[in-house]
Amino acid sequence: MSDGVSRRYFFYGSLLAGAVPAGGFGSVPSLRALGYKPFYDKLNVAAIGCGGQGGVDLNDAAATENIAALCDVDEARAADAFNRHGKAPKYKDYRAMLDKEGKNIDACIVAVPDFMHATIALACMQQGKHVYVEKPLTRTPWEARLLRDAAAKYKVATQMGNQGFSHECHRVAAEIVWSGEIGEVREAHVATSPSTYPTELAQLPPSKDVPKTLDWNLWLGNAAARPFSDWYVPYNWRGFYDFGTGQIGNWATHTAGPVHTALQLGAPESVECVSQTGKSKYTYPTRGVVRLDFPARGPMPPVSVYYHEAVRASDPEAFRVPGMEDEAILPPPDNLADKGRPTAIGRGGPGGMRGPGGGPAGAGGRGASADGPPRGAGGPGVLVFQGTQILTSASQQPPRGASPRGVLAGNGSVLVGSKGVLATSNRGEGVWLLPSARWKEYKLPPQLLTRSPGHMLDWVRACKGGDASCSNFGITAPYAEWLALVCIAWRVPGKLLWDSKNTRFTNSEEANQLVKPMFRRGSELKL
């Protein structure tokens, strides 16, 4: 495999599984000195980013562990979490929290906007804290590589918050492909549904007065200074190049997961924007298609992975699965019950996925939530900005209940093999073979991968010296790296040749300017 990564890298769990000391590795003095705790001791967890998805992650950790400190730049946004954990010390600046509470903290949850993930996670790891970092891990490929190296250097337990990696269907999808059921896969397609943040902006949004509850300078962190606008918070930062990763970070981190694992993807050789609608200097496009070409991996042949951003069934760019014109392409979630498999495991434990308020998970972090369409003066799904009306994807989505046949539309993926087709939905929460008649009679292959106790519990176990977590940075940093390349392809035309070993493009200096963030002076990141 590329980059010297062993195939064993993709099999979740420690090589020492079954040989873990009864009290966990934390019961071994030399490992306890590194910050690991016995299974019977509760971790002292700090949460950095307590609103939206951060609040969900905090609840999951609080179900079994002790909440030692809370940090959020917006006290109103974090009010619910602050009230529920009234005894925990509260901070706005994560650096002050680490300085004052460091001796009381074992592990940190980082659930802030994408552009600050690497900065905060690195600071935590440098103090020996285990870290759980919300998806998409980082905004740029350089930061993904940095976090991978930091996890190895500081010897801490890590996990990315891409909860689908803990789902039963994600594992089953990989096992079906590895069994040879669909033959050689040379083409795969990953899709996301339309977004609800603004796209194709011709200019930056108007400034507003900063709310009294928000420290805007702390929110900006390492990013260049700019006036506050309520177009950025609590959710719309996702659509801006400087802050977010668009639907790549919002949903493709989930929908591409089964493809990444099943095809054992390493680094691509090239990435190219095939088409896009609504190109902007400031925000991600409204929709489009990017192609990534991966080399052979062991016995697996080269494969082209197509990413379809914000796809609708009516879009000409939508992938029409050959020979499946009369089939519903994406499976329903948790569809393995009829195959005798247990209830899905996603977050803290059994019961599948959930998000803020019980809704679907996916929005992430401090200043982020699943609060719905962006603010604007033009009614639902419409933004009016200095006389220019911009239709957002909220107004473009197909009616609820629509079930297009033969088309990959919505959140999911399709792997096209020489002997058949496999499809997954959402975070890898559903899986089946196409056509449906084939799936009806299909018997699942033997289990090869370890099963998850829940995504948060998987990390907690690793923090206490148990098996390595399924989304530790050794696994997910290379994954986040190739996803981040898509964000660059939107902005730089042409086929970009990627040199993963040296973390650079060999044929575009323009693209190389986007591989690493531009930091404020004095805030550069170093291991």
Per-residue pLDDT of 434-450, as tens digits, reads 999 999 999 999 999 99
Domain of 152?
7-165+453-471
Determine, yes or no, domain membership for 435. Answer: no
Does residue 19 register a pLDDT over 80?
no
pLDDT in tens, 54-74: 999 999 999 999 999 999 999
pLDDT reported for residue 348: 56
- Cα distances (Å, whole numbers) of residue 312 to 395, 459, 468: 12, 36, 38
**Predicted pLDDT of residue 471:** 97
Q: 121-125, 176-180, 315-319, 394-398: which range is least confident on average?
A: 394-398
Mean pLDDT in residue range 365-372: 32
Phi, psi of 258, rounded to the nearest 5 degrees? -60, -35
Q: Tell me if the bond preceding 136 is cis, omega within 30° of 0.
A: yes
Q: Assess whether pLDDT exceeds 70 at residue 161.
A: yes
Q: How far apart are CA 105 and CA 481, in angstroms?
A: 29
Q: What is the mean pLDDT of residues 210-233?
A: 96
Looking at residue 444, what is its pLDDT? 97
Average pLDDT over residues 78-90: 97
Question: Looking at the predicted structure, is the pLDDT value of residue 392 above 80?
Answer: no
151 against 368, higher pLDDT? 151
Tens digits of residue pLDDT in 403-416: 579 999 999 999 99
Does residue 353 surpass a pLDDT of 70?
no
Give strand ranges (E) for 278-394.
287-294, 303-309, 319-320, 382-385, 388-391
Could you give the percent of the chain with pLDDT greater than 90? 77
212 burial (CB, 10 Å; 0-12 / 13-18 / 19+) is exposed
Average pLDDT, the chain: 86
Instruction: In whole angstroms, give the CA distance from residue 367 to residue 219.
Output: 8
Peptide bond preceding 234 in cis form (omega within 30 of 0): yes
* pLDDT on residue 359: 32
The dihedrals phi and psi of 165, each to the nearest 5 degrees, come to -60, -20
Q: What is the pLDDT of residue 39?
A: 77
Confidence (pLDDT) at 317:
83
Report how many domains make up the chain. Answer: 1
Q: If we measure between CA atoms, which residue out of 177, 194, 193 comes closest to residue 185?
A: 177
Distance CA 168, CA 340 (A): 12
In a domain, 77, yes or no: yes
Whether 370 maps to a domain, the answer reads: no
Give the model's pLDDT for residue 33.
Answer: 56
Q: What is the DSSP letter of 331?
A: P
Whether 513 is in a domain gets the answer no
Tell me the pLDDT band of 398, cut-offs 50, 70 and 90.
very low
What pLDDT does 346 receive? 66
- pLDDT of the residue at 37: 73
- Flag the least confident range among 36-45, 183-192, 279-288, 364-373: 364-373
- Assess if residue 428 is contained within a domain: no
Could you tell me which residues are beta bridge partners of residue 70? 47, 90
Asked which of 11-25, 107-121, 232-246, 459-473 is least confident by mean pLDDT, the reply is: 11-25
User: Is residue 38 very low, low, confident or very high in pLDDT (cuts 50, 70, 90)?
Assistant: confident
Q: What pLDDT score was predicted for residue 373? A: 34
CATH number at residue 99: 3.40.50.720
Per-residue pLDDT at 16: 25
> Looking at residues 325-339, what average pLDDT do you find?
93
Q: Could you give the CA distance from residue 253 to residue 114 in angstroms, rounded to a whole number?
A: 12
Mean pLDDT of 382-406: 43
Q: Is residue 267 part of a domain?
A: no
pLDDT in tens, 179-208: 999 999 999 999 999 999 999 999 999 999
* Inside any domain, residue 35: yes
Give a yes or no: residue 91 inside a domain.
Answer: yes
Say whether pLDDT at 17 is over 50: no
